[in-house]
Structure 1
Amino acid sequence: MNLTSISSQQKLLLISNEPELTQVLNVNLTSLGYDICHCASIKHANKALSHSQYSLILLDRRLPDGDGILLAQQLRQNNQFTPIMVMSDQGSEADIVLGLESGADDYLVKPVSVLELRARIKARLRQSQAQQDYTRELCFEGVRISALERQLYLQDKAIKLTAREFDLLWHLACSPQQVFSREQLLQSVWGYHHHGYEHTVNSHVNRLRNKLANYPGFNELVQTVWGVGYKFAPKPQSQRQASA
């Protein structure tokens, strides 16, 4: 298998102030055919992001002008959906949850295994490409979810969701009435397969539900199946009107 051809034309932004780590990653990832752009600060990263688009961002937390997590939060608040992989020597459960909650798609604890990083990058890029290839809509009674627009509509009214809230809703809605465990959602939506961070899923589900609760008849679209997980459960119009 030609690894270079797999990653051809993929442009990665590496944001790190560590010369040794930067050199190792640059050599290894360039050898796979990735086009690597390097920035050593949040300021320079913002400038690079304003002038070019990237397939993936490798983000170190320790930067001279702040915590890289702040940059991840900023990008997600501005509705930028480029996959972000955080690298950090801060590896407590609280740190990892903070990274994922900030909008990062993955969190690697230093020292970073280059082989593992390469595998995760390829997996993340495949998932990102699959999401970009969506051209269809999911339509239910009074509900329309557009993957192309990344937008939820309730009775033709656009509902503002964060990038992660939309990804979560889309994944659930692709399989109506199917129950997904928190671990399954963490792996499928976040691309993170470690145990112990299921409350990240809980908090996103709660925020999504809070937004749906403002629209009578749609507040039970995402339901809890106690002891198992969550499901997307659209109702027939007659039931929705009766509950309004």
Structure 2
Amino acid sequence: MNRILLTEDDQRVASFIEKGLRESLYQVKTVGKGREAIDEASENKYDVIILDIMLPDISGFEVCSLLRQRKNTTPIIILSALDTPEEKVRGLESGADDYLAKPFLFDELLARINAQLRRTEFNNGIVDFQRYGGVEVNVKEQSAQRDGQALNLSPREFKLLVFLMKNREKALSRISIAQAVWDINFDTTSNSVDVYINYLRNKIDKDFEHPLIHTIKGTGYMFKLKTP
């Protein structure tokens, strides 16, 4: 599940963006100050940073420059009401990868996020996660099928499948699955991961010859075509 760091001090705007991103299956952490963004991006891994310019402590330009000075290569999309050519140039020169002016269409923001993710995946040589072992997912439509047979998944099951496919052939702990599919502050004493793994198994493995979801004793689970 792709993780996004949203830096926006306007609570109304932040809530709107966060809600839309979560509905689009992104995991979101929101902060309201520039120095909080620097600390968060330095301590944790994110796939994209969305950065406002007019922040209460330091400007988004400074945040961007400081992150790049620290060799942080996470794609940064500046989202700002400052829309002059000079501001755009300043943003890009400070190290941002893209610049989107407010007001904006949410679909355009999604398109720009996806463009940055595709570029990162291409640069890292990551194979398209959407097809594996006969399973194909359509993130936009939130649908999935295996060997041409539609899988009737709940929203939570779909998020779980997407996470497993993106991390296929890797041993995943229950905690990492919970944090990605539920919430960063998920209650780790809950058995929801095991419950939903079983739900997904019944739909994705039960009627097929080769299972894809395997239990890794002492660790958690692995999504793999053959038994690890």
- TM-score computed with the length of structure 1 as normaliser: 0.50
Which amino acid in 2 is paired with 1:102?
Answer: S
Q: Does 1:19 align with 2:7?
A: no
**Partner in structure 2 of residue 37 of structure 1:** 29
* Correspondence 1:51-90 to 2 at 5 A: 51-90=43-82
Q: Using the alignment, how far apart are the partners of 1:51 and 1:77 within structure 2? A: 15
Q: Using the alignment, how far apart are the partners of 1:102 and 1:64 within structure 2? A: 19
Deviation at 1:111, TM superposition (A): 0.7
Q: Does 1:47 align with 2:57?
A: no
Q: Does 1:124 align with 2:116?
A: yes
Deviation at 1:133, TM superposition (A): 2.0
User: Stretches of 4+ moved more than 2 A in 1?
Assistant: none
Structure 1, gaps ≥5 residues long: 1-8, 135-244
Q: Using the alignment, how far apart are the partners of 1:62 and 1:71 within structure 2? A: 11
Q: Using the alignment, how far apart are the partners of 2:103 and 2:14 within structure 1? A: 13
Which amino acid in 1 is paired with 2:113?
Answer: I
**Partner in structure 2 of residue 217 of structure 1:** none
SS in 2 for 1:12: strand
Deviations 1:163-220 (A, max 9, x none): xxxxxxxxxxxxxxxxxxxxxxxxxxxxxxxxxxxxxxxxxxxxxxxxxxxxxxxxxx
Q: Using the alignment, how far apart are the partners of 2:71 and 2:43 within structure 1? A: 16
Contact 2:38/2:67 (8 A) holds in 1: no
Deviation at 1:98, TM superposition (A): 0.5
SS in 1 for 2:95: coil
SS in 2 for 1:62: coil
Deviation at 1:43, TM superposition (A): 1.9
Aligned length: 126
Q: Using the alignment, how far apart are the partners of 2:112 and 2:98 within structure 1? A: 8
Deviation at 1:132, TM superposition (A): 1.8
Contact 2:42/2:72 (8 A) holds in 1: no
- TM-score computed with the length of structure 2 as normaliser: 0.54
Deviation at 1:108, TM superposition (A): 0.6
SS in 2 for 1:33: coil
Identity %: 33
Deviation at 1:50, TM superposition (A): 2.9
Deviations 1:58-93 (A, max 9, x none): 000010002101010111112111000001111111
Q: Using the alignment, how far apart are the partners of 1:84 and 1:112 within structure 2? A: 17
Superposed CA RMSD: 1.1
Deviation at 1:49, TM superposition (A): 1.8
**Partner in structure 2 of residue 103 of structure 1:** 95
Deviation at 1:51, TM superposition (A): 2.3
**Partner in structure 2 of residue 92 of structure 1:** 84
Which amino acid in 2 is paired with 1:129?
Answer: E
Contact 2:35/2:63 (8 A) holds in 1: no
Q: Using the alignment, how far apart are the partners of 1:26 and 1:132 within structure 2? A: 27
